[in-house]
Amino acid sequence: MFRKSKSIVGLDIGSSVVKAVELTLEGPEPVVTGFARVEIPPGGTTAEAIEAAFREGRFRTKRVVTSVAGQDVVVRYVPMVQMSDNELKRAIRFEADKYLPFELDEVVLDCQGVANTERHGEEQEGAGGENQMTALLAACKTERIEERVQAVLAQGLQLAAIDVDLFALANAWELCGVMPGDVSEEARGMALVDVGATRTSINVLFGGQTCFSREINIGGQDMTQAVARRLSVEPFEAEAIKRASESHEAEVNSAIAPVLEDLVSEISLSLDYVEHHSGFAVEEILLSGGGVLAPGASGYIEQACARRARTWNPLEGLRVDAKRVDVEELEAWAPTLVVAVGLASRVRAA
């Protein structure tokens, strides 16, 4: 009855926007108790944006979980002989150099055993059998980790963990999945596709478990630049037009169409690959990120990928403390907060 509530801020440090969502455990139920979104203006710095986010967010805690993504991060599904978690952590270093494009002394790596469903792509071929397992291997260049650590500590914050964007997507979905709702969702193959500013993250789930993940170097900034060229305006003007201007809708659609075509081609290749190697169908695409806010983007992706697609709200089913959070603004930006919510979901294990 008198237990102290636990809070964690999920801090999504993007290339153009810093987003922070605080979840607090009040009993078993996570509650949104803080939110901030700060754009990094031309000439601005990430440090200034983080400082502004914590000034504006009215967070209860300084405990932070942040993440890494991009070319310095590698995620692989590695076939291994069945073993305990402790044995796996020792053994993985002898296998990692086969799967990583970096030297082992350049990276921080971690691993986790996952259920062997024989649905993990080509790296998993031949790994079936009762004595086999799949190890999920994640590695990041040490210098990138150190940059993230310093970015957080320099603001006087406490770093609880560093995650990977791809995994944060799945954690956000799981947080929604444990809320009251359609439990049959877990029995289907689905793809979480987060279209960020500079990259798009894909995480395919089956039975609620990650079985394929990939990043594509196409994002919302590519759409913005296409609009800027088409309308001969500055990028910041093009971004505003891309999001909301009905008067330029036809021109915006025409400008971003080639970018969406390239993006959809990569998404389709990924999903076709998963289906070819797995034996299950990816029936639905759940879209998130600022890139899907462009007019017509989600409909185009659905039609071109020939799969159901919808923008999803990672806050669905979560209670929001309206005394501390601007609910209207939170809901407006909800599809862009998937990574931040997934990071903050670690409060359940804190």
Give the Cα separation of 153 and 210 in Å (integer). 31
Look at residue 23 in the predicted model and tell me its pLDDT. 97
What average pLDDT score do residues 128-145 get?
86
More confident residue, 167 or 295: 167
Residues of the chain within CATH 3.30.420.40 domain(s) are 6-70+143-182+313-349, 215-309
Full-model pTM = 0.89
Tens-digit pLDDT profile for residues 338-350: 999 999 999 988 6
Tens-digit pLDDT profile for residues 208-253: 888 899 999 999 999 999 999 999 999 888 888 887 767 788 888 8
CATH topology of domain 6-70+143-182+313-349: Nucleotidyltransferase; domain 5 (3.30.420)
The β-bridge relationship of strands 189-195 and 200-206 is antiparallel
Tens-digit pLDDT profile for residues 251-303: 888 999 999 999 999 999 999 999 998 888 999 999 999 888 887 889 999 99
- 156: pLDDT strictly greater than 80: yes
Tens-digit pLDDT profile for residues 170-211: 999 998 864 434 444 445 789 999 999 999 999 999 888 888
Q: Provide the CATH number for the domain formed by 73-141 in this structure.
A: 3.30.1490.300
CATH topology of domain 215-309: Nucleotidyltransferase; domain 5 (3.30.420)
Give the Cα separation of 158 and 11 in Å (integer). 12
Tens-digit pLDDT profile for residues 30-84: 999 999 999 998 899 999 999 999 999 989 999 999 999 999 999 998 888 999 9
Look at residue 263 in the predicted model and tell me its pLDDT. 96
Count CB neighbours of 266 within 10 A: 16
Give the Cα separation of 14 and 333 in Å (integer). 15
Residues of the chain within CATH 3.30.1490.300 domain(s) are 73-141
Look at residue 289 in the predicted model and tell me its pLDDT. 93
More confident residue, 127 or 242: 242
Look at residue 1 in the predicted model and tell me its pLDDT. 36
Look at residue 2 in the predicted model and tell me its pLDDT. 42
The distance between the two most distant Cα atoms of the chain, rounded to a whole number of Å, is: 61
